[in-house]
Structure 1
Amino acid sequence: MAGVLDSVNQRTQLVGQNRLELLLFNLGGRQLYGINVFKVKEVLQCPSLSEIPRRNPVIRGVAHIRGGTIPIMDLRQATGSAPLEDIANCFVIITEYNRSTQGFLVKGVERIVNMNWGDIHPPPKGAGRENYLTAVTEVDDKLVEIIDVEKILAEVSPLPSDVSASVIESAQRDTVVCKHVLIVDDSTIARKQIQKVVESLGCKTTLRKDGREALDYLNHLVEEGKDPYHEILLIISDIEMPEMDGYTFTAEVRGNENLKKMHIILHTSLSGVFNEAMVKKVGANDFLAKFHPDELATRVNARIEQLTNEGEHVG
């Protein structure tokens, strides 16, 4: 266990190689779960928790850690099962998502494994619309499920999803934008959030679940004799995705003569540990930490204005 805890903050060198490291854990049963180490700030034995009034039942309390107060969410209860018992003997995985810090209560922490994003796959069809999985993989012939944390956070502590009226008013809504915004994200919740923002500005959207699907879509446009640059206003892509991550996707686009001019915004919950040098290395145009509707809408508006100023026909 000490080896796992000591190594959590030392695993950032795999970024950009279509690789990741998963911290494996369990929720009291035989099923293994995984979380990207890049999201993990610390793992510790569950500290003493303080009750908070009118709390969501999933939040078991708050912990006072290193001068801060952090909500602790029962990950087993959040995914629809019975709450964890004997929490004093459980562990807390402290994470940073969407510009906030929170802890996830789990029964046990196993180890860290090095993986290729190509070995991380979308959940099998038929798992149900209300499932809490964003991906699955295998480790030592055992199924590992990767939980859609953004879905849990949206249910337990929803973020504002509406664009401010002033930002919408600044959009060029007198122009019907014929180009689509390509949204690439493995989280159903994240795709819906981004889609709502983009469509509130009068733009149309095309959705894909991972970098591989998005790249195939762009190449298909080329095969049809279309120029993706003239079909798509911009691409908003997550970084963490099964099959192909956002860094690799961006690098593939930039290395393709037919696609290299595409405007790409990397939009990710990897706040706090983001490596700006990597964005420049793979050639993304911009980076935005999830999730702030006004900031995202402002970037889309700026792209429309940029094309208009360049004389590009957008509608």
Structure 2
Amino acid sequence: MTSKTKQSQKLLLFRLFGTRLFGIGTLKIREILPFKPLTKLPHSHSAVVGTTSFRGSAVPVIDMAAAVGYPALTQEELKASSIIITDVQRQETGFLVRGVQKIIETDWKKVKAPPAALGDKAFITGLLDAEGDIIQLLDVELLLANVYPDSLDAGDVALTDVQSETLKALNILLVDDSRVARKQLCDVLDAKDISYQVTTNGDEALQILLKDNELGQPVDILVSDIEMPGLDGYELTFDARDNGALKQPYIILHTSLNSEMSLSYANQVGANEALTKFDADELLHAMLRGASQPE
């Protein structure tokens, strides 16, 4: 039996350039540090300003403003800057920002998808009106993919003929608001000639689940991000599980978050599995586990 307890959703707000505010979810954040001198990295991307020591490890630090197209921090601005240490997609990365503002609590239902006019190159996954301030939620996955393009290569996954045919017979639905994450998911399935449906948000995903169910072709495997504008992955899972008329899919919540709290909550709302992005082999074998579940 699933339960829909309210989980606090918090955002760290910060400035990259001028007075405009940006935000990222606090579940991605390990620590916020005042600026300190960095160790230079030779032959690195222009936005990588060096490395810092964090809990015994060398962590690369990216000038976030420069990485998304704003002017890089000057030597004078560095003195008042902060380094946000994040844990995203199985790696720790520091982001240098001009100024940290505050942490706010919000609801993902209040986050709006960015206008289509921004195009595929925008580093924004959502917009939030917070007391008159429009907060832009950054697509950290896209930013990291631009700085480290090799990270997009999912590599080949070895499947037997029987495993491949098993996955090809499934109705698979992918949901993610990040263009980079969608590409990673699609590339893995395309490489194995496995068909799927894909959408950018939980509201559309729920409609697809209901429509396919009515057509007698219910979704077998649902792979969904957690943090999305509108209906987030937790609520999508709960709403699917709460619908008695819906033939239940095997639900895999697929997230850039490494937080144990987020993965625990995934189980509470009824997800079968929760995986941290991005491991193609792990994902395909989770789908195979879903295919082997009894009707």
- Report the TM-score when normalising by structure 2: 0.91
* Structure 1 gap segments, 5+ residues each: 1-14
Number of residue equivalences? 289
Once the two structures are superposed, what CA deviation does each residue of 1:191-242 show, in whole Å capped at 9, x if it has no partner? Answer: 11011112323321111112122112222334xx323xx4323000111111
Distance 2:202 2:164 in 1: 30
Which has the larger displacement, 111-120 or 292-301? 292-301
Give the partner amino acid of 1:51.
K
1:53 equivalent in structure 2: 42
User: Could you tell me which residue of structure 1 aligns to residue 277 of structure 2?
Assistant: 290
* Aligned equivalent of 1:162: 154
Q: Give the SS at the match of 1:270.
A: coil
Structure 1 residue 92 corresponds to structure 2 residue 83: yes
Q: Structure 1: how far apart are the matches of 2:26 and 2:78?
A: 23
SS in 2 for 1:168: coil
Question: How far apart, in 2, do the equivalents of 1:16 and 1:97 lie?
Answer: 25
Q: Which amino acid aligns with 2:196?
A: T
Aligned counterpart, 2:243: 256
> Counterpart amino acid of 2:37?
S
Q: Is the 8 Å Cα contact of residues 73 and 104 (structure 1) preserved in structure 2?
A: yes
Root mean square deviation of aligned Cα = 2.1
Deviation at 1:164, TM superposition (A): 2.6
Following superposition, the deviation at residue 273 of structure 1 comes to 3.7
Mark the runs of 5 or more structure 2 residues left unpaired by the alignment: none
Post-superposition Cα deviations, 1:250-303, rounded to whole Å, max 9, x if no partner, equal 011000012252110011011144444322211111111100111112222333
Q: 1:234, 1:263 within 8 Å by CA — same for their partners in 2? A: yes
Compared with structure 1, are the counterparts of its residues 82 and 262 closer, same or farther at alpha carbon in structure 2 (3 Å cutoff)? Answer: same
- Which one of 229, 237, 250 corresponds to residue 224 of structure 2? 237
Q: Contact 1:58 / 1:74 at 8 angstroms: preserved in 2?
A: yes
What secondary structure sits across from 1:126 in the alignment?
helix
Equivalence for 1:5: none
Q: How many angstroms does 1:114 deviate by? A: 1.0
Secondary structure of the corresponding residue to residue 43 of structure 1? strand
Q: How far off is 1:186 after superposition?
A: 0.7
Is the CA contact (8 Å cut-off) linking 1:181 and 1:198 kept in structure 2? Answer: no
Q: Describe the shift of the 1:265–1:280 C-alpha distance in structure 2 as closer, same or farther (beyond 3 A).
A: same
Distance 1:209 1:17, change over 3 A: farther
Say whether the 8 Å CA contact 1:171–1:201 is kept in structure 2: no
For 1:110, the equivalent position in structure 2 comes to: 101
What's 1:101 paired with?
92
Change (3 A) 1:173 1:281: closer
Which of 13, 29, 34 is the equivalent residue of 1:24? Answer: 13
Q: Aligned letter for 1:293?
A: A
In structure 1, the residue matched to 2:172 is 181
What's the % identity of the aligned pairs? 32
1: CA distance, partners of 2:162 / 2:181: 22
Query: 1:115 offset after TM fit, Å?
Result: 0.8
What SS class does the counterpart of residue 168 from structure 2 fall into? coil
